[in-house]
Amino acid sequence: MSEVAESVTTEPMIPVGIPRAKKVSKGFFATSFAIFFRSKLNIFALILFSIIAVLSYGAGWISENILHEDRDQLDFDLVAKGIQLPAPPGTFNHLLGTDELGRDILTRLLYGGQVSLTIGFLVAAISIFIGTLLGLLAGYYGGWVDDVVNMLVQVILNIPALFLLIMLSIYVSPTIVSLSLLIGLLSWPLLTRQVRGAVLSLRTRDYIAAAEVMGASSFRILLVHILPNVVSLMIVVAGFTIAAAILIESALSYLNFGISVPVPSWGSMLSDSQTRFTSAPWMVYTPALAIFLTVLCVYLIADGLRDAFDPRLK
């Protein structure tokens, strides 16, 4: 597994124990990643995503040492010089122009990436954790545990997600963490269903029965014998969740429930510039491109991994 892949897929999932997965079924993962890297498209997506992530998380350093701009710094020099704000790209040291407050778009774009990606990762982590845990429990224990989990899943799936988000948004003041929690708490059910399904079929396997006979605790069986088998599922779902979270965050911004000022996210930058398609396109298309490329890469990676992991397709 390359270093890059580590940062993309495993970082948020430490709680569910990737290292064990590697140890137990190294052969499977090795072949899967080999398949993954056979596709040039997958490699391209992975590299591009890594670049975006590095730029975003290096926003602090880059803006200080290269751009010499501050995230929230209002450039009043522009106003003093009589330049109409928002200033177009190339105005003095603003490579990508400024917004209506004279803040540097490039700097905010980098910081915005940090926020959007963090939300994506956090949401993925939350939903993977809850989703896997409940899926394992429901699938393994069955009975009332299964019923309860199933009901929870059903309740969330049966209220349109945006309805729930809007109702919940009224409570919380939007920060990175609260938004991630909000989105994360609503995006685990599908994973739970899939994990549960996988566990149900695993349960009937002989080796599980053997482990039970040998007196292994339920905890051990779940952790050592079952979890590694759903890791591939988790990785794939994590990818899609990251992408979805970035998009949902932007939708919330559009509906005025997004992250609060002055913190930028790609979604809020996009939403703040919605009246400027023709008058200040640099404000519109830069965050749009950032979201597009990021989500595209994450999708391609997740899609590629899914195919690579799929035993039927080997």
Partner 1 sequence: MRKRLSLALAMLLVASALAACGETATPVPSTAAITTTASAATTAAASATTASVATTTAASATTASVATTAAGATTAATSATTAAATNPGDTGLEPIPPLATLPAGAKKGGTLNLAVSGTLPATLTGDGSTSDVVGNYLAMYNLLWSAGLVEYDYVNLKWHLEMAKDVKIDDTGKVYTFTLRPDLKWSDGSPITVDDFQYTFDNISKPNKSNPAQQASALGNLVTLDSYKSDSAAGTITVTFKEAFARDVAYYYLTFAPLPKKVWQDKPFFDPSNNPEIKKPTINSGPYKIESYDSNGQGVFVANENWYRGRPNFDKIILKAYSPDLVSNAIKTGQADASLTFMPPSQYNEIKANADLKTYDYYGVQVDFRYIVYNTTKAPFNDIVLRQAIVYALDRNTLIKVAENDRAKAQYTFENQTSPYYNPDVNHYDYSLDNAKKMLAGAGYTLQGSTLMGKDGQPVKFTLSFATVDVPGKLLATYMQAQLKQLGIDVAVNGLDPQTYLISLVTKKFDLGTGTTGGSVFPDPDAVKFFYTKDGVYNVAGYVVPRIDEIFALGTHELDPAKRTKLYQEAEKILNNDVPSAVLYAPVSYIAANKKVGGIVPTKGGTVDLNQNVTEWYFTQ
Partner 2 sequence: MKKFVIRRLIQSIFLLWLVMSLSFLLVHAVPGGPERTLMANPRITQEELDAARKAFGLDDPFYIQYGRWLVNSATLNFGLSYKQNEPVLTVIGERIGPTLQLGVAAYLFSLLGVPLGVYAAMRRGKLGDNVVRVVTVIGSAMPAWWLALMLIVILSNTVGWFPQGQGNGGIGPWFLNLLIPALTLSTAEMIRFSRLVRSETLEVINQDYVRTANAKGNTREVVTRRHILRNSLIPVVTLFGSFLPTVLSGAVITEVIFNWPGMGRLFFESANARDYPVVLTIVLIGAICTIAGTFLADVAYGFVDPRVQY
Q: Residue 175: name its binding partner from partner 1, partner 2, none (Cβ under 5 to 8 Å by kind).
A: none
Comparison of 154 and 275: residue with beta carbon closer to partner 1: 275
Question: Where along the sequence are the contacts to partner 2 (CB under 8 A)?
Answer: 41, 151, 154-155, 157-164, 166-168, 170-171, 243, 247, 250-251, 254-255, 267, 270, 274, 277-278, 288, 291-292, 295-296, 299-300, 303, 310, 312-313
Residue 173 binds which of partner 1, partner 2, none (CB < 5-8 A, kind-dependent): partner 1
Please, which residue, 44 or 76, has the CB nearer to partner 1? 76
Shortest distance (Å) from residue 65 CB to partner 2: 31
For residues 275 and 233, what is the distance between their CA atoms, to the nearest angstrom? 41
- Evaluate the CA torsion angle 257, 262, 268, 271 in order and state its sign: positive
If you write DSSP's letter for every residue of 178-191 in order, what string do you get?
HHHHHHHHHS-HHH
Which three-class secondary structure state does DSSP give residue 286? helix
Helix, strand, coil % in the chain, rounded to nearest 5: 75, 0, 25
CA atoms within a 13 Å half-sphere pointing along the CA-CB vector of 116: 37
Give the residue with the Cβ less far from partner 1, 60 or 262. 262
Query: Residue 172 CB, nearest distance to partner 1 (Å)?
Result: 11
Q: CB-wise, 37 or 299, nearer to partner 2?
A: 299
- State the residues that interact with partner 1 by CB under 8 A: 72-74, 76, 79, 84-85, 100-102, 169-170, 173-174, 256-257, 260-262, 272, 274-276, 278-279
Tokens of residue 62, six digits:
């880059």
* C-beta closer to partner 1: residue 100 or 307: 100
25 class by beta-carbon count within 10 Å (0-12 exposed, 13-18 middle, 19+ buried): middle
Do 233 and 308 form a contact (C-beta atoms < 8 A)?
no
> For residue 257, what are the contacts with CB-CB under 8 A and spacing of at least 6?
165, 166, 169, 174
User: CB under 5 to 8 A by kind: which of partner 2, partner 1, none does 251 bind?
Assistant: partner 2
Q: How far is the CB of 169 from partner 1 (least distance, A)?
A: 8
- Return the number of the residue (285 or 299) whose C-beta is nearest partner 1: 285
Rounded distance between C-alpha atoms, residue 48 and residue 8, angstroms: 12
Residue 126 beta carbon to partner 2: minimum distance, rounded to whole angstroms: 19
